[in-house]
Structure 1
Protein backbone atom coordinates (compact mmCIF):
# COMPACT_ATOMS: atom_id res chain seq x y z
CA UNK A 1 0.00 0.00 0.00
CA UNK A 2 2.91 2.37 0.67
CA UNK A 3 4.00 1.87 -2.93
CA UNK A 4 0.57 3.03 -4.12
CA UNK A 5 0.60 6.03 -1.80
CA UNK A 6 4.03 7.09 -3.04
CA UNK A 7 2.84 7.07 -6.65
CA UNK A 8 -0.39 8.94 -5.98
CA UNK A 9 -0.42 12.39 -7.60
CA UNK A 10 -1.15 15.60 -5.78
CA UNK A 11 -4.90 15.86 -6.09
CA UNK A 12 -6.42 18.56 -8.16
CA UNK A 13 -7.67 18.40 -11.71
CA UNK A 14 -6.81 15.14 -13.47
CA UNK A 15 -3.53 15.69 -15.30
CA UNK A 16 -2.67 12.44 -17.06
CA UNK A 17 -4.42 11.13 -20.15
CA UNK A 18 -5.02 7.41 -20.47
CA UNK A 19 -3.72 7.46 -24.03
CA UNK A 20 -0.43 9.10 -23.01
CA UNK A 21 0.58 7.11 -19.90
CA UNK A 22 -1.72 4.34 -18.71
CA UNK A 23 0.51 3.55 -15.74
CA UNK A 24 0.44 7.07 -14.28
CA UNK A 25 -3.21 7.47 -15.27
CA UNK A 26 -4.13 4.38 -13.23
CA UNK A 27 -2.51 5.73 -10.06
CA UNK A 28 -4.08 9.14 -10.58
CA UNK A 29 -7.52 7.59 -11.07
CA UNK A 30 -7.08 5.48 -7.93
CA UNK A 31 -6.18 8.59 -5.92
CA UNK A 32 -9.20 10.44 -7.31
CA UNK A 33 -11.45 7.52 -6.39
CA UNK A 34 -10.08 7.39 -2.85
CA UNK A 35 -10.58 11.14 -2.49
CA UNK A 36 -14.16 10.92 -3.76
CA UNK A 37 -13.47 13.30 -6.64
CA UNK A 38 -16.11 11.69 -8.84
CA UNK A 39 -16.36 14.49 -11.39
CA UNK A 40 -12.62 14.23 -12.09
CA UNK A 41 -12.72 10.53 -13.03
CA UNK A 42 -12.18 9.20 -16.54
CA UNK A 43 -15.29 7.01 -16.38
CA UNK A 44 -15.11 5.50 -19.87
CA UNK A 45 -11.55 4.25 -19.47
CA UNK A 46 -12.15 3.18 -15.87
CA UNK A 47 -15.03 1.00 -17.05
CA UNK A 48 -12.80 -0.54 -19.74
CA UNK A 49 -10.05 -1.25 -17.22
CA UNK A 50 -12.47 -2.83 -14.75
CA UNK A 51 -13.76 -5.12 -17.49
CA UNK A 52 -10.15 -5.99 -18.32
CA UNK A 53 -9.66 -7.13 -14.71
CA UNK A 54 -12.45 -9.65 -15.22
CA UNK A 55 -11.03 -10.75 -18.56
CA UNK A 56 -7.66 -11.25 -16.93
CA UNK A 57 -9.15 -13.58 -14.32
CA UNK A 58 -10.89 -15.54 -17.07
CA UNK A 59 -7.59 -15.77 -18.95
CA UNK A 60 -5.82 -17.08 -15.81
CA UNK A 61 -8.40 -19.85 -15.56
CA UNK A 62 -8.10 -20.70 -19.25
CA UNK A 63 -4.31 -20.76 -19.02
CA UNK A 64 -4.31 -23.14 -16.05
CA UNK A 65 -6.89 -25.40 -17.73
CA UNK A 66 -4.93 -25.37 -20.99
CA UNK A 67 -1.76 -26.56 -19.28
CA UNK A 68 -3.52 -29.35 -17.38
CA UNK A 69 -5.29 -30.46 -20.56
CA UNK A 70 -2.12 -30.42 -22.66
CA UNK A 71 -0.33 -32.62 -20.14
CA UNK A 72 -3.31 -34.98 -19.80
CA UNK A 73 -3.34 -35.40 -23.57
CA UNK A 74 0.38 -36.06 -23.63
CA UNK A 75 -0.03 -38.47 -20.69
CA UNK A 76 -2.78 -40.41 -22.47
CA UNK A 77 -1.43 -40.38 -26.03
CA UNK A 78 2.29 -40.82 -25.36
CA UNK A 79 2.44 -42.98 -22.22
CA UNK A 80 5.94 -44.19 -23.04
CA UNK A 81 7.25 -40.64 -22.66
CA UNK A 82 5.61 -39.79 -19.34
CA UNK A 83 7.81 -37.75 -17.07
CA UNK A 84 7.76 -36.60 -13.50
CA UNK A 85 7.63 -33.01 -14.74
CA UNK A 86 4.29 -33.71 -16.46
CA UNK A 87 2.91 -35.01 -13.16
CA UNK A 88 4.17 -31.94 -11.32
CA UNK A 89 2.87 -29.57 -13.98
CA UNK A 90 -0.59 -31.13 -13.78
CA UNK A 91 -0.58 -30.82 -9.97
CA UNK A 92 0.59 -27.20 -10.00
CA UNK A 93 -1.87 -26.06 -12.65
CA UNK A 94 -4.74 -27.92 -10.98
CA UNK A 95 -4.00 -25.87 -7.87
CA UNK A 96 -3.88 -22.68 -9.94
CA UNK A 97 -7.20 -23.52 -11.57
CA UNK A 98 -8.83 -24.30 -8.23
CA UNK A 99 -7.54 -21.05 -6.72
CA UNK A 100 -8.82 -18.93 -9.62
CA UNK A 101 -12.26 -20.56 -9.34
CA UNK A 102 -12.30 -20.16 -5.55
CA UNK A 103 -11.39 -16.48 -5.80
CA UNK A 104 -13.74 -15.85 -8.74
CA UNK A 105 -16.88 -17.98 -8.32
CA UNK A 106 -18.57 -16.01 -11.11
CA UNK A 107 -16.30 -17.79 -13.58
CA UNK A 108 -18.25 -21.01 -13.00
CA UNK A 109 -20.93 -19.54 -15.24
CA UNK A 110 -18.53 -19.41 -18.22
CA UNK A 111 -16.60 -22.58 -17.41
CA UNK A 112 -17.89 -24.54 -20.43
CA UNK A 113 -16.74 -21.77 -22.79
CA UNK A 114 -13.37 -21.44 -21.07
CA UNK A 115 -12.86 -25.20 -21.11
CA UNK A 116 -13.65 -25.41 -24.84
CA UNK A 117 -11.21 -22.59 -25.63
CA UNK A 118 -8.52 -24.08 -23.39
CA UNK A 119 -8.92 -27.52 -24.95
CA UNK A 120 -8.66 -26.17 -28.49
CA UNK A 121 -5.28 -24.63 -27.69
CA UNK A 122 -4.11 -27.56 -25.53
CA UNK A 123 -4.82 -29.94 -28.40
CA UNK A 124 -2.63 -27.88 -30.74
CA UNK A 125 0.15 -27.65 -28.17
CA UNK A 126 0.01 -31.38 -27.39
CA UNK A 127 0.32 -32.15 -31.08
CA UNK A 128 3.31 -29.85 -31.40
CA UNK A 129 5.05 -31.19 -28.30
CA UNK A 130 4.49 -34.87 -29.09
CA UNK A 131 4.99 -34.72 -32.86
CA UNK A 132 1.72 -36.65 -33.14
CA UNK A 133 -0.67 -35.54 -35.85
CA UNK A 134 -3.43 -33.24 -34.62
CA UNK A 135 -6.02 -35.77 -35.80
CA UNK A 136 -4.79 -38.22 -33.12
CA UNK A 137 -6.33 -36.03 -30.44
CA UNK A 138 -10.12 -35.86 -30.07
CA UNK A 139 -11.68 -32.71 -31.52
CA UNK A 140 -13.88 -32.34 -28.44
CA UNK A 141 -12.44 -32.41 -24.95
CA UNK A 142 -12.58 -36.02 -23.70
CA UNK A 143 -12.39 -34.98 -20.02
CA UNK A 144 -15.05 -33.58 -17.73
CA UNK A 145 -14.05 -31.08 -15.07
CA UNK A 146 -13.86 -33.74 -12.38
CA UNK A 147 -11.37 -35.77 -14.43
CA UNK A 148 -9.36 -32.67 -15.26
CA UNK A 149 -9.09 -31.81 -11.58
CA UNK A 150 -8.79 -35.19 -9.87
CA UNK A 151 -7.89 -38.02 -12.22
CA UNK A 152 -4.76 -39.70 -10.88
CA UNK A 153 -1.56 -39.12 -12.85
CA UNK A 154 1.03 -40.26 -10.39
CA UNK A 155 4.63 -40.79 -11.28
CA UNK A 156 5.81 -44.20 -10.07
CA UNK A 157 7.86 -44.05 -6.89
CA UNK A 158 11.43 -45.27 -7.07
CA UNK A 159 11.90 -48.83 -5.81
Structure 2
Protein backbone atom coordinates (compact mmCIF):
# COMPACT_ATOMS: atom_id res chain seq x y z
CA UNK A 1 0.00 0.00 0.00
CA UNK A 2 1.18 3.50 -0.75
CA UNK A 3 2.09 6.27 1.60
CA UNK A 4 1.39 8.74 -1.21
CA UNK A 5 -1.83 10.63 -0.69
CA UNK A 6 -4.23 10.98 -3.60
CA UNK A 7 -3.65 14.27 -5.41
CA UNK A 8 -6.52 16.67 -5.03
CA UNK A 9 -6.85 19.23 -7.87
CA UNK A 10 -6.66 22.00 -5.27
CA UNK A 11 -3.56 20.42 -3.67
CA UNK A 12 -0.74 22.96 -3.42
CA UNK A 13 1.91 20.63 -2.02
CA UNK A 14 4.19 21.49 -4.94
CA UNK A 15 4.22 25.13 -3.78
CA UNK A 16 4.25 24.39 -0.05
CA UNK A 17 6.86 21.62 0.21
CA UNK A 18 8.80 20.66 -2.90
CA UNK A 19 10.60 17.79 -1.19
CA UNK A 20 7.39 16.16 0.05
CA UNK A 21 5.83 16.73 -3.36
CA UNK A 22 8.74 15.03 -5.15
CA UNK A 23 8.61 12.04 -2.79
CA UNK A 24 4.86 11.68 -3.35
CA UNK A 25 5.17 11.93 -7.14
CA UNK A 26 8.01 9.37 -7.24
CA UNK A 27 5.93 7.00 -5.13
CA UNK A 28 2.93 7.42 -7.43
CA UNK A 29 5.12 6.76 -10.48
CA UNK A 30 6.62 3.62 -8.92
CA UNK A 31 3.13 2.33 -8.28
CA UNK A 32 2.03 3.30 -11.79
CA UNK A 33 -0.82 5.40 -10.40
CA UNK A 34 -0.59 7.69 -13.39
CA UNK A 35 -4.03 9.20 -13.01
CA UNK A 36 -3.03 10.68 -9.65
CA UNK A 37 0.19 12.33 -10.79
CA UNK A 38 0.57 16.10 -10.78
CA UNK A 39 1.48 15.93 -14.45
CA UNK A 40 1.93 19.65 -15.18
CA UNK A 41 4.47 20.09 -12.40
CA UNK A 42 6.22 16.78 -13.14
CA UNK A 43 6.73 17.95 -16.74
CA UNK A 44 8.03 21.31 -15.50
CA UNK A 45 10.48 19.63 -13.13
CA UNK A 46 11.80 17.24 -15.78
CA UNK A 47 12.39 20.15 -18.16
CA UNK A 48 14.14 22.09 -15.41
CA UNK A 49 16.64 19.24 -14.95
CA UNK A 50 17.76 19.65 -18.54
CA UNK A 51 17.95 23.43 -18.21
CA UNK A 52 20.03 23.06 -15.04
CA UNK A 53 22.51 20.76 -16.74
CA UNK A 54 22.76 23.17 -19.69
CA UNK A 55 23.33 26.13 -17.34
CA UNK A 56 25.97 24.24 -15.34
CA UNK A 57 27.92 23.43 -18.48
CA UNK A 58 27.60 27.03 -19.71
CA UNK A 59 28.89 28.25 -16.35
CA UNK A 60 31.95 25.98 -16.52
CA UNK A 61 32.74 27.14 -20.06
CA UNK A 62 32.21 30.76 -18.99
CA UNK A 63 34.68 30.55 -16.11
CA UNK A 64 37.17 28.57 -18.20
CA UNK A 65 37.09 31.06 -21.06
CA UNK A 66 37.30 34.02 -18.70
CA UNK A 67 40.47 32.61 -17.16
CA UNK A 68 41.97 31.74 -20.55
CA UNK A 69 41.38 35.32 -21.68
CA UNK A 70 43.00 36.65 -18.53
CA UNK A 71 45.89 34.22 -19.06
CA UNK A 72 46.35 35.41 -22.62
CA UNK A 73 45.85 39.15 -22.12
CA UNK A 74 47.42 39.64 -18.70
CA UNK A 75 50.40 37.31 -18.87
CA UNK A 76 52.20 39.32 -16.18
CA UNK A 77 49.50 38.44 -13.63
CA UNK A 78 49.34 34.67 -14.23
CA UNK A 79 48.99 32.69 -11.06
CA UNK A 80 48.62 29.21 -9.69
CA UNK A 81 45.04 30.13 -8.81
CA UNK A 82 44.23 30.75 -12.48
CA UNK A 83 45.82 27.41 -13.43
CA UNK A 84 43.79 25.64 -10.74
CA UNK A 85 40.57 27.29 -11.92
CA UNK A 86 41.26 26.33 -15.54
CA UNK A 87 41.94 22.73 -14.54
CA UNK A 88 38.84 22.56 -12.33
CA UNK A 89 36.55 23.92 -15.04
CA UNK A 90 37.92 21.47 -17.60
CA UNK A 91 37.26 18.64 -15.16
CA UNK A 92 33.71 19.92 -14.63
CA UNK A 93 33.14 20.15 -18.38
CA UNK A 94 34.46 16.64 -18.96
CA UNK A 95 32.30 15.25 -16.18
CA UNK A 96 29.14 17.11 -17.28
CA UNK A 97 29.60 16.02 -20.89
CA UNK A 98 30.17 12.40 -19.83
CA UNK A 99 27.07 12.46 -17.63
CA UNK A 100 24.93 14.03 -20.38
CA UNK A 101 26.54 13.26 -23.74
CA UNK A 102 23.70 14.90 -25.66
CA UNK A 103 24.91 18.26 -24.33
CA UNK A 104 27.89 17.94 -26.69
CA UNK A 105 25.47 18.58 -29.56
CA UNK A 106 24.68 21.92 -27.89
CA UNK A 107 28.32 22.99 -27.49
CA UNK A 108 28.28 25.72 -30.13
CA UNK A 109 25.17 27.35 -28.66
CA UNK A 110 26.51 26.99 -25.13
CA UNK A 111 29.88 28.49 -26.12
CA UNK A 112 28.26 31.47 -27.82
CA UNK A 113 26.33 32.29 -24.65
CA UNK A 114 29.28 31.52 -22.35
CA UNK A 115 31.76 33.59 -24.38
CA UNK A 116 29.58 36.69 -24.46
CA UNK A 117 29.51 36.64 -20.64
CA UNK A 118 33.13 35.53 -20.17
CA UNK A 119 34.35 38.37 -22.37
CA UNK A 120 32.53 40.94 -20.23
CA UNK A 121 33.73 39.26 -17.02
CA UNK A 122 37.33 39.30 -18.25
CA UNK A 123 37.09 42.99 -19.14
CA UNK A 124 35.59 43.82 -15.75
CA UNK A 125 38.15 41.79 -13.83
CA UNK A 126 41.23 42.90 -15.76
CA UNK A 127 40.21 46.52 -16.20
CA UNK A 128 41.01 46.21 -19.90
CA UNK A 129 38.56 47.66 -22.43
CA UNK A 130 35.98 45.18 -23.72
CA UNK A 131 37.34 45.82 -27.23
CA UNK A 132 40.62 44.19 -26.14
CA UNK A 133 38.96 40.81 -26.38
CA UNK A 134 37.76 39.30 -29.68
CA UNK A 135 34.03 39.47 -30.36
CA UNK A 136 33.89 35.73 -30.94
CA UNK A 137 35.61 33.02 -28.95
CA UNK A 138 39.23 32.72 -30.07
CA UNK A 139 39.49 29.14 -28.79
CA UNK A 140 38.25 25.99 -30.47
CA UNK A 141 36.16 23.43 -28.63
CA UNK A 142 39.14 21.09 -28.84
CA UNK A 143 41.41 23.67 -27.22
CA UNK A 144 38.89 24.33 -24.46
CA UNK A 145 38.69 20.62 -23.67
CA UNK A 146 42.47 20.06 -23.97
CA UNK A 147 43.94 19.79 -20.46
CA UNK A 148 47.29 21.08 -21.68
CA UNK A 149 46.17 24.04 -23.78
CA UNK A 150 47.00 27.50 -22.53
CA UNK A 151 46.99 30.48 -24.92
CA UNK A 152 50.26 32.31 -25.21
> TM-score, with normalisation over the residues of structure 1?
0.86
| Alignment counterpart, residue 37 of structure 2, candidates 25, 38, 41 | 41
- Displacement of 1:21: 2.9
- Cα distance in 2 for partners of 1:12, 1:37 equals 11
Q: What SS does the aligned partner of 2:120 have?
A: helix
- Displacement of 1:89: 0.5
- Cα distance in 2 for partners of 1:108, 1:52 equals 18
Please give the root-mean-square deviation of Cα atoms over the aligned residues, in Å: 1.7
Residues 41-61 of structure 1: CA deviation (Å, up to 9, x unaligned): 011111111010011111111
- Cα distance in 1 for partners of 2:142, 2:112 equals 15
What residue number does 1:152 align with?
A: 149
Contact map agreement 2:60 2:93 (CA 8 A) in 1: yes
- Displacement of 1:147: 1.1
| Alignment counterpart, residue 5 of structure 2, candidates 12, 18, 26 | 12
- Cα distance in 2 for partners of 1:30, 1:87 equals 42
Where do residues 1-159 of structure 1 align in structure 2 (5 Å cutoff)? 10-14=3-7, 16-17=11-12, 18-150=14-146, 151-153=148-150
Contact map agreement 2:53 2:96 (CA 8 A) in 1: yes
- Cα distance in 2 for partners of 1:136, 1:153 equals 18
> TM-score, with normalisation over the residues of structure 2?
0.89
Contact map agreement 2:54 2:103 (CA 8 A) in 1: yes
- Displacement of 1:10: 2.0
Contact map agreement 1:87 1:153 (CA 8 A) in 2: no
Residues 92-128 of structure 1: CA deviation (Å, up to 9, x unaligned): 1101001111111111111100011011111111111
- Displacement of 1:74: 0.2
- Displacement of 1:153: 3.5
Identify the structure with bigger relative contact order (alpha carbons < 8 Å, sequence gap 6+). Answer: 2
- Displacement of 1:11: 2.3
